[in-house]
A and B are shown apart, each in its own frame.
Chain A
């Protein structure tokens, strides 16, 4: 009879007990324990406030080159499964959590988060005051950060952080987009054919389109107008064009904005989300700017100004479109207006483009109607896209 059970299901001081160091570009330092892969990593420090869906978050290409701080203290509780990833790999540059799970618990779990991070070589840190870090980022804004299990001297790590590239001006679509075009067949009878520009697309997006009878042709970010027009049965090209979410600074993106302009010129119905909203904005002649610390979470209240209803929505963006909230703006392609607004900070969450006849030509939202992770309140936007292509709007 043992005096005490020692069947340990994990270490009591973090997953490994190996010390790790986190340093922000303004010098603020946190010490914790290594989580996931050991080593060193750099990126833009951002925080995400979602309480569920870390697996979707990790595999969202929009987080490419970002070190994500989870505000929810317990992460990894449901492990990792084979159904929930939103892309082929984990994209975050680094991962910061307070209390990683020692054992996952879910009938769908295949492996632990810690193992997965290690396998994919993602460096993380655990056991730090994530709320303090979050408040720091809220007050000072998103900034560069480094995490290391090899470097224990904050100053030395700080030098490396300052040497790392910043997010502003970064063009990253090419790094996350698909190498080859591919097609997601429509579920049931095919109603429309859509060309989708993959700027960092999440698996749920083509899935939801296909569910609605759309044949989804996913093209690399480098696709040209001809590539787009080649989609679809006849010379009229696709029934619609879709731009996905993705990482990087929209201001640094040229080609896709041009492409979008040409497509709009040809009257191809357009739907864009997130990065696709920012590029739509630029194509319409609006500016984009970097938010102080962005919107990352699944509880953001957005008002759909056409219905006056509020949607609770999933967000992941550090940049926003600079368009007048009130009134209409004349553009080469028609009349543009702001269709959705964030009720927390009044930033632009959606754009609408109408022709002289008042008919809808294209629209976009800054948030994620495909959710994953997040509420399904905005799913109706895919139906709106359908209606748009059906000429009903």
Chain B
């Protein structure tokens, strides 16, 4: 069946901000979909509130709406654009839920929009566990015994039938949010209660536990003619009980006979048919009892999922792309396999390599969070590696995590390892368990003992033994023979690992290796195990015989990606890398992408001319550069766009003779090394907050005494604001220093004057050595002290005057010049009592580059890439890449206001007792993602940003107000307006006083530090957490008013984060919210596409 002729416009819904369980894999799938649909000549209308996505680049859709993904806003878009069809299966659970809501509200029917991909009925059959259960049983399959519950009584009753332990699953949540393992009644009350709350249908499913079984996944694809193929099988190394997203997973399945595999396949095909996913991909999970092979179906996702992205990268079969094609009518046999270019997509990929995915966690950011892995997902990112065997792929994947402690390490071979203790420890799945398993093996545990403790399949366990035996062989050999070195490499050992085993440096090992001519070859991911020739250079390294890298004539530029997502380094950096790749191939270069993150657009084989799916370590990158130099001319390596990961490699690469394009490693050092940077500032006559370095409490105390409290302390040896804290007095300072481990003369603690009541300003700029292009000046809505990644901000700045922007421009120029930037630089300033402090400068693309690019319709990353390769800003202005005149500092009056709001993962982390972890925001970044609100004025833009991040601002209900003294006057009018709108006002003592005197009635509530009252009157925080407040307005007091007040402010704000309601922390914010609420009341908030804005503002593309 060829393409449908009755569809001419399709709306695609994205997945919104990056959150745990829903990351950039949906940008990858959405981007592919948009590409395909557009290429098919359809009008593509996209809705996604996440500005950091590639899919929201104007060129990927005909109408791009960076608007909240809520039924209200999406309806506005539908009303305006009147799409023929809606494709909601590529935007994760967010898009799916939105489509369901739109259908329920009758919107789809009203505007005659057809849901393509999966029908509402299919979605329901797939997601409603009861219906699904029936489908599976009708097919002769089995599901775990379960009971549906709607109340605590139901839960307890069901518990008696099923018996502990049990799996508690709230219905219609994503990434297992709110689910968990209940081992006893108190667990059940706790998890079950939370689950009922978490479920939009207050429905919780209790399920028989099948902990410890083998877990598998199949990725299935179906077309309108009912052709079905299995794209990929995935086996979890961690047995049932650990969410797939948190498990180490392997493709293809390693321990299934054909009979068992075909049984799963038959069931999968039966299920996708019965559920009625008429076109596109879906994902089905299974559990297998290792004792007798009993097969149980766990669940299915009637949409493209995280695993689909993994499967696409693992096989070279682009699931989302093909899902989009079949959604508009094509059948699989009509779609070409674009890797072989001669065979159709109606086949099942076969692999001649092994793929391993390992999760990356961020527990260190959430002190007290329970690190035990369970049925709801906790990881923030993942790395994938490909090898010709499991050991190679596993070890490559582990070093791809960029966590030194994740890599197997035999260094402490003479320390007695306590086998018994280790065997006990590894019973509980945690981040880094695999390493403990290896230690247990080293301690002499037998395979059976390991299997007994972990339930990890014996085959995998033996592979770990194999790795250990190779390590021991290397360790004990008289000399490191070529054979041994080859063997080590064949099993994925890095030069660093071998070096540690032999007591040499990695450099020496590499030297020896090269002298012996032991280098990796590069194989190709071709979907067909070499049965047909591959036309796409999608490579991975292996220590095998024959390499497949083709010679080339065009000069190549190697772009280093940003590796696994983590808090502080995520999709925003992939965005810049992808842009660089696009820009440079336009400029005539052959682009070579290196990255190991399976979720991203950069690792789509369509993005660059060549893709190396490899770890981002010095060794791996050097080998790739070598291979490419053999293939043809290499201009250089781009280290500036992938965040700290490639930036950290720049110097070492240069030392090894690799040309670095753009800002030199020496310049990078100038910006990153405090002393050097201090001199740069001094030269430019700029101020940094007073600071000093201490290695003891005494020293720290002296510094604090000199510069005055509060001070900001942080270890000098960590990045991304790790371990940063604001300290108000000696006691706190003492506690911090004592807690801060690893302090030593060469690893001092940095003590900075904390700039109080300061406006923080974020700047992204381009510098070519002469001209400075101010990309954007972002004014934080929260005061300095909350990490730039966590605070909301506005662009253009809402309160800064032209003169201040000029000061910022001058300062930025001076720093860019002083450092010697060629390309992008990001600077954070704090403007306090009219002093402009420089907090830090990052000589690289920043988290805000995509936000700025989108808000100002200027392709900053593209321009940066070309500046790095020698073009001037003038050239780029001439070439139309940058505006002919002016820049982000001189935006026209027609420029809309863009507001960025951060999204926090706190609701995912609880401590061992199940209490919510501390949610105080501070100088250490904790957010996973962001949204953008875009509109003509700040009020509307702000309202949209809140809607996108937390849900719409309230238009009625209760408002809590607590204002800093300095703000009490300014607040009166706006609060009065809110009261007039009919809000009930709650306030703290002082605030209530002022309001009363101004004729605004309010109820007084207790401050947090006052605790509950004699009659158990709740504190503000408690009321907020109990959902009794609809909006929080709290401007933090300066240090003047002492510590309590400030902490109280934090407590309130974070309680709001927990309760998922908007909270306003500045008078500007308050004014904004009032305007926003006003606009909501007027009901005249409109939606406008980026393309329309660009036309309006008069920007080019």
CB within 8 Å of B: which residues of A? 1-10, 12-13, 30, 47, 49-53, 55-56, 71-74, 77-78, 81, 83-84, 98-99, 101-108, 128-132, 134-135, 138, 297-301, 303, 308-310, 312, 343-344, 371-376
| CB < 8 Å neighbour of B343 from A6, A12, A343 | A343
Q: Is A105 touching B459 in the complex (CB atoms < 8 A)? A: yes
Q: B-side binding surface: helix, strand, loop or mixed?
A: loop
Q: Is A312 touching B389 in the complex (CB atoms < 8 A)? A: no
Q: Is A55 touching B225 in the complex (CB atoms < 8 A)? A: no
Q: Is B350 touching A3 in the complex (CB atoms < 8 A)? A: no
Q: Which residues of A contact B257 (CB under 8 A)?
A: 52-53, 55, 78, 81, 84, 106, 108
Closest residue of chain A to B410, judged by CB?
A: A4
| CB < 8 Å neighbour of B259 from A50, A84, A101, A103 | A84
Tell me, in angstroms, the Cα distance from A299 to B229 when the chains sit together: 9
Q: Is B447 touching A7 in the complex (CB atoms < 8 A)? A: yes
Tell me, in angstroms, the Cα distance from A216 to B523 when the chains sit together: 48
Q: Is A299 touching B349 in the complex (CB atoms < 8 A)? A: yes
Which of B254, B290, B352, B473: most chain A CB closer than 10 A? B352
Does B1097 lie at the interface of the complex (its beta carbon under 8 Å from any beta carbon of A)?
no
Q: Which residues of A contact B389 (CB under 8 A)?
A: 73-74, 98-99
Shortest CB distance B328–A (Å): 19
Does B738 lie at the interface of the complex (its beta carbon under 8 Å from any beta carbon of A)?
no
* Known A101-B459, A105-B459, A106-B255: A135·B332 in contact at CB below 8 Å: no
| CB < 8 Å neighbour of A344 from B343, B465, B544, B545 | B343
* Known A131-B546, A138-B531: A3·B413 in contact at CB below 8 Å: yes
Q: A-side binding surface: helix, strand, loop or mixed?
A: loop
Shortest CB distance A63–B (Å): 15
Q: Is A310 touching B441 in the complex (CB atoms < 8 A)? A: no
Closest residue of chain A to B349, judged by CB?
A: A299
Which of A6, A53, A106, A108: most chain B CB closer than 10 A? A106
Q: Is B259 touching A5 in the complex (CB atoms < 8 A)? A: no
Tell me, in angstroms, the Cα distance from A83 to B263 when the chains sit together: 15
A-B contact pairs, 8 of them (CB 8 A): A3-B414, A9-B466, A12-B470, A128-B545, A300-B347, A312-B347, A344-B342, A344-B343
Tell me, in angstroms, the Cα distance from A81 to B414 when the chains sit together: 42
Q: Which residues of B contact A375 (CB under 8 A)?
A: 262, 265, 348
Q: Which residues of A contact B266 (CB under 8 A)?
A: 376
Closest residue of chain A to B440, judged by CB?
A: A5
Does B443 lie at the interface of the complex (its beta carbon under 8 Å from any beta carbon of A)?
yes
| CB < 8 Å neighbour of B546 from A1, A4, A52, A129 | A129
* Known A49-B531, A51-B351, A309-B225: A4·B442 in contact at CB below 8 Å: yes
Tell me, in angstroms, the Cα distance from A186 to B523 when the chains sit together: 50
Tell me, in angstroms, the Cα distance from A310 to B228 when the chains sit together: 8
| CB < 8 Å neighbour of B347 from A8, A12, A301 | A301
Q: Is B293 touching A132 in the complex (CB atoms < 8 A)? A: no
Shortest Cβ-Cβ A-B pairs, 9 listed: A53-B258, A129-B545, A132-B546, A71-B529, A105-B459, A373-B258, A299-B348, A52-B258, A71-B352
Q: Is B352 touching A105 in the complex (CB atoms < 8 A)? A: no
Closest residue of chain A to B419, judged by CB?
A: A1
Closest residue of chain A to B447, judged by CB?
A: A9
Which of B266, B457, B459: most chain A CB closer than 10 A? B459
Q: Is A131 touching B343 in the complex (CB atoms < 8 A)? A: no
Q: Is B470 touching A343 in the complex (CB atoms < 8 A)? A: no
Does B291 lie at the interface of the complex (its beta carbon under 8 Å from any beta carbon of A)?
yes
Does B138 lie at the interface of the complex (its beta carbon under 8 Å from any beta carbon of A)?
no
Q: Is A4 touching B348 in the complex (CB atoms < 8 A)? A: no
Q: Which residues of B contact A30 (CB under 8 A)?
A: 545
Closest residue of chain B to A11, judged by CB?
A: B469
* Known A73-B388, A103-B458, A300-B347: A134·B529 in contact at CB below 8 Å: yes
Q: Which residues of B contact A132 (CB under 8 A)?
A: 544-546
Tell me, in angstroms, the Cα distance from A261 to B316 when the chains sit together: 47
Shortest CB distance A370–B (Å): 12
CB within 8 Å of A: which residues of B? 225-227, 229, 252-259, 261-262, 265-266, 290-293, 331-333, 342-344, 346-354, 388-390, 413-414, 416-417, 441-447, 457-459, 462, 465-466, 468-470, 472-473, 475-476, 487, 523, 528-533, 544-546
Q: Which residues of B contact A51 (CB under 8 A)?
A: 252, 350-351
Q: Is A49 touching B529 in the complex (CB atoms < 8 A)? A: yes
Closest residue of chain B to A13, judged by CB?
A: B487
Q: Is B531 touching A343 in the complex (CB atoms < 8 A)? A: no
Q: Is A6 touching B258 in the complex (CB atoms < 8 A)? A: no
Tell me, in angstroms, the Cα distance from A373 to B261 when the chains sit together: 10
Q: Which residues of A contact B457 (CB under 8 A)?
A: 105
Which of B255, B343, B530: most chain A CB closer than 10 A? B530
Q: Is B344 touching A301 in the complex (CB atoms < 8 A)? A: yes
| CB < 8 Å neighbour of B528 from A49, A81, A101 | A49
Q: Is B333 touching A303 in the complex (CB atoms < 8 A)? A: yes
Shortest CB distance A127–B (Å): 9
Q: Is B530 touching A107 in the complex (CB atoms < 8 A)? A: no
Closest residue of chain B to A83, judged by CB?
A: B259
| CB < 8 Å neighbour of A7 from B226, B465, B529 | B465
| CB < 8 Å neighbour of A299 from B225, B292, B350 | B350
Q: Which residues of B contact A74 (CB under 8 A)?
A: 254, 354, 389-390
Closest residue of chain B to A81, judged by CB?
A: B257
Shortest CB distance A100–B (Å): 11
Q: Is A8 touching B469 in the complex (CB atoms < 8 A)? A: yes
* Known A102-B462, A301-B347: A374·B262 in contact at CB below 8 Å: yes
Q: Which residues of A contact B388 (CB under 8 A)?
A: 73, 98-99, 131
| CB < 8 Å neighbour of B530 from A13, A71, A303 | A71
Q: Which residues of B contact A50 (CB under 8 A)?
A: 258, 350
Tell me, in angstroms, the Cα distance from A312 to B443 when the chains sit together: 48
Q: Is B254 touching A77 in the complex (CB atoms < 8 A)? A: yes
Shortest CB distance B545–A (Å): 4
Tell me, in angstroms, the Cα distance from A194 to B487 when the chains sit together: 55
Tell me, in angstroms, the Cα distance from A138 to B529 when the chains sit together: 11
Shortest CB distance A48–B (Å): 9
Q: Is B443 touching A52 in the complex (CB atoms < 8 A)? A: no
Q: Is B530 touching A138 in the complex (CB atoms < 8 A)? A: yes
Q: Is B258 touching A72 in the complex (CB atoms < 8 A)? A: no
Tell me, in angstroms, the Cα distance from A13 to B487 when the chains sit together: 8
Q: Which residues of A contact B445 (CB under 8 A)?
A: 5
Tell me, in angstroms, the Cα distance from A73 to B252 when the chains sit together: 11
Q: Is B252 touching A2 in the complex (CB atoms < 8 A)? A: no
Which of A2, A130, A344: most chain B CB closer than 10 A? A344
Tell me, in angstroms, the Cα distance from A128 to B442 when the chains sit together: 29
Q: Is A103 touching B442 in the complex (CB atoms < 8 A)? A: no
Q: Which residues of A contact B346 (CB under 8 A)?
A: 301, 310, 312, 343
Closest residue of chain B to A139, judged by CB?
A: B533
| CB < 8 Å neighbour of B465 from A9, A55, A71 | A9
Tell me, in angstroms, the Cα distance from A129 to B227 when the chains sit together: 35
Q: Which residues of A contact B459 (CB under 8 A)?
A: 77, 101, 103-105
Closest residue of chain A to B345, judged by CB?
A: A301
Shortest CB distance B333–A (Å): 5
Shortest CB distance B111–A (Å): 34
Q: Is B352 touching A130 in the complex (CB atoms < 8 A)? A: yes
Q: Is A9 touching B530 in the complex (CB atoms < 8 A)? A: no
* Known A103-B462, A131-B530: A343·B290 in contact at CB below 8 Å: no
Closest residue of chain A to B472, judged by CB?
A: A4
Q: Is A1 touching B458 in the complex (CB atoms < 8 A)? A: no
Q: Is B344 touching A343 in the complex (CB atoms < 8 A)? A: yes
Q: Which residues of B contact A343 (CB under 8 A)?
A: 333, 343-344, 346-347
Tell me, in angstroms, the Cα distance from A103 to B469 when the chains sit together: 15
Q: Which residues of B contact A53 (CB under 8 A)?
A: 257-258
Shortest CB distance A269–B (Å): 28
Shortest CB distance B36–A (Å): 20
* Known A51-B351, A81-B257, A301-B346: A5·B441 in contact at CB below 8 Å: yes
Q: Which residues of B contact A108 (CB under 8 A)?
A: 257, 293
Q: Which residues of A contact B253 (CB under 8 A)?
A: 52
Shortest CB distance A234–B (Å): 39
Tell me, in angstroms, the Cα distance from A128 to B532 when the chains sit together: 20
9 additional contacts, CB 8 Å, given A103-B447, A309-B225? Answer: A7-B465, A52-B256, A55-B258, A74-B390, A138-B531, A299-B528, A303-B333, A312-B229, A344-B342
